[in-house]
């Protein structure tokens, strides 16, 4: 799936920030696994875990849904 997002110039964020933030939110809500997030961002699992706090999420606190996704990934 490809998506396009247009933001006003007054929103001062780059494409990497938006992509990482989206992966963090999708991961935290159980919409994708950490493995999928790592593949999309082309980073290691450790880097993914270290990225999460930058967007207000923790790799240490996980939901049952996320654990199920990880176990089936």
The model's pTM is 0.77
When pLDDT is averaged across residues 51-68 and rounded to a whole number, the result is: 77
Nearest to 57 by CA among 23, 31, 18, 32: 23
> How far apart are alpha carbons 7 and 35 in whole angstroms?
28
Grade residue 29 by pLDDT with cuts at 50, 70 and 90. confident
Mean pLDDT (the chain) is 87
Give the list of residues 6+ apart from residue 9 with CB closer than 8 angstroms, or none.
none
């Amino acid at each position: 799936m490809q998506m396009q997002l247009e933001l006003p110039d007054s929103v001062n964020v780059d494409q990497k920030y938006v992509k990482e933030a989206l992966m963090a939110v999708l991961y935290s809500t159980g919409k994708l696994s950490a493995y999928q997030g790592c593949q999309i961002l082309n980073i290691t699992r450790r880097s993914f875990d270290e990225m999460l706090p930058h967007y207000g999420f923790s790799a240490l606190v996980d939901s049952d849904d996320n654990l199920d996704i990880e176990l089936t990934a």
